[in-house]
Chain A
Amino acid sequence: MRKILLTSAVFGLACAGFLGYQTVKAQDQELSPEEEIRLVQEFNRMMAEGINPGEIWAEMGKEAFKKYNLDKCDFGLGPGKIEGALAQLPRYFPDAKRVMDLETRIGWCLQQYAGMTPEQVKKFAKQCWGKSQCMGEYDAIVMYVSMASNGQKINVNLKDPQVRRMYEIGKQIYYARLGPWDFNCATCHAGQKEARIRATKLWSADRPGEAGQAVSIFPKYLVRWSQPVTMHYRYAECIRQMRWPTFEPHSDLAVALSAFLYGTANGTEIKVPGIGR
């Protein structure tokens, strides 16, 4: 029943036009109190009914996965095998001679098997950044592949020296104070005491299990933007708040952060998509 509902929702959205839905313009983050209240109500309703619109993206992603020949893509478990793929990433890929996390790997495969140039891949990945109600094929692919690891425990191989190296680099960057506002990741995501930025509770790398809870639900559907947020988009958003220069998806920086965060999250069960206000 739920499946049918979702499918018809996808169908409806598809008819309404991928395009029409996509062109909502960049939103701003400051909301009026009325909008805040409406969002909370909508969020609570979705939680109560167990609805997560993020799943719609997975349906769409299944199509896009085929369309872009990603069944040729090896995520570390063999070409096209996506069950459990997210759980063992980031890992080292001899073909690319690089440690890669899920999104970086998808980007690499889009170049190899879908004939995209690096620039096209970047554009594809950032299609929905700064927008709302955006149905992007990239987000859909990430959602589809991620959901295939649901129920599995994160298991990054930190014994692999290449992965370990990225983990250590990621850790050092996590603590690097930088930029005109002096932030590091730990400014907002560390410490025993629970802190809030405005009304938002922040997760902390120092409180057991919280890093796991943070990353194991990505991509996460955000009610206020009516679209999912992938891990790299989340990095970009945090970095925007840190007043660092604009973040590049699929970069080694992204991989290092993922190696550190997912490595720290080892043992946490993957539950995608998450949902948040």
Chain B
Amino acid sequence: MKKVLFLGLLAIGLVGISPAQQKKQPTKKEAGVKPEEVRRVLLSGFEQDPKFLWKLEQDESQRICSQYPSMEAMPAQAVQKVIELENKNITYPQWGIAWGDWKEGKKLVDNPRGGRYASYGFSDKPTDKGGNCYACHLIEKGVPGGTMGPQLTGYGKRYGITKENMNSPEGLEKLKTVYKIVYNSWHAFPCSAMPRFGYHGSLSPEDVMNIATYLLHPESPVNK
């Protein structure tokens, strides 16, 4: 029964995906491996729990990014295409651009658990929410972090955000800039290592606003 369900999902997935894939994927002639074959091998490698198989659907930008070993290797046209696609993939909180709660943002930044669920061992839950930002960034002074992404210590100071100017149109424009980066990094850095947290729904618009506030607010420990 489960199997049937899975096969059904597989069929839907393949139908949904293959047309675009055939057009885009530059199946290397020398390799002679068809995209469907790669897909079959990929799908063979996971527990067939329908609850989680949606994770394996590839969107257009992911397909483009998969064709190049690194961002540097991307032709300008591909870069342009991803930027264009991802600029459409940003939504804002209902009330628009306004400062959030940096303390809430800090919690999400600190929490490494978001989305990291497997059916064996470990106590992560599918509902856990967090950006694990320290894995890739150095953020608050003295807190250990990764170096995959740029250092974010004093990020608000770098933007020149002060108590006085934070609610000016320029201040809010800067908040919006950072909101957009965290919501959908690929609109600014196509195919970056940094996940598109908001676009995928791993973080809600409110969550992202709180995180942007945490990075920029003059009272946040990031800027102390």
Interface size classification for chain B: 35 or more
Interface size classification for chain A: 35 or more
The answer to whether A182 has its CB under 8 Å from any CB of chain B is yes
Residues on B with C-beta less than 8 A from A178 are 42, 55-56, 58, 62, 66
Give chain A's interface secondary structure class. loop
Q: A168-B33, A191-B70 are in contact. Are A244 and B116 (CB under 8 A)?
A: no
Give Cα distance in the complex from A236 to B122, angstroms: 12
Pairwise interchain contact B45-A251, C-beta atoms closer than 8 A: yes
The answer to whether B115 has its CB under 8 Å from any CB of chain A is yes
The answer to whether B38 has its CB under 8 Å from any CB of chain A is yes
Residue in contact with B195 in the complex, picked from A182, A252, A254, CB distance below 8 Å: A182
Hey, what's the 0/1 contact readout for B40-57 against A, CB within 8 Å counting as 1?
A: 111011110100110110
Residue in contact with B196 in the complex, picked from A130, A182, A190, A236, CB distance below 8 Å: A182
Q: A197-B148, A198-B145, A244-B56 are in contact. Are A28 and B118 (CB under 8 A)?
A: no
Residue in contact with B120 in the complex, picked from A129, A171, A179, A241, CB distance below 8 Å: A129
Pairwise interchain contact A243-B147, C-beta atoms closer than 8 A: no
Nearest neighbor of B47 in chain A, beta-carbon distance: A246
Pairwise interchain contact A179-B56, C-beta atoms closer than 8 A: yes
A269: shortest Cβ distance to chain B, in Å? Answer: 27
The answer to whether B100 has its CB under 8 Å from any CB of chain A is no
Give Cα distance in the complex from A215 to B145, angstroms: 26
Residue in contact with B31 in the complex, picked from A168, A241, A244, A256, CB distance below 8 Å: A168
Give Cα distance in the complex from A196 to B69, angstroms: 19
8 Å CB contacts to B: which residues of A227-268? Answer: 236, 240-241, 243-248, 251-254, 256
Give Cα distance in the complex from A247 to B56, angstroms: 12
Pairwise interchain contact B116-A240, C-beta atoms closer than 8 A: yes
Nearest neighbor of A249 in chain B, beta-carbon distance: B45
Give Cα distance in the complex from A34 to B62, angstroms: 40
Pairwise interchain contact B49-A195, C-beta atoms closer than 8 A: no
Residues on A with C-beta less than 8 A from B28 are 168
Give Cα distance in the complex from A256 to B45, angstroms: 10
Pairwise interchain contact B148-A130, C-beta atoms closer than 8 A: no
- Which of A26, A183, A252 has the most chain B CB within a 10 Å cutoff? A252
Pairwise interchain contact A26-B42, C-beta atoms closer than 8 A: no
Hey, what's the 0/1 contact readout for B56-73 against A, CB within 8 Å counting as 1?
A: 101001110111111000
Residue in contact with B58 in the complex, picked from A26, A177, A246, A247, CB distance below 8 Å: A177
8 Å CB contacts to A: which residues of B171-189? Answer: 186
Pairwise interchain contact B118-A176, C-beta atoms closer than 8 A: no
Residues on B with C-beta less than 8 A from A183 are 193, 195
Nearest neighbor of B186 in chain A, beta-carbon distance: A182
Closest 10 CB pairs of A and B: A130-B121, A253-B45, A26-B121, A245-B52, A181-B195, A168-B31, A177-B62, A251-B45, A245-B46, A243-B115
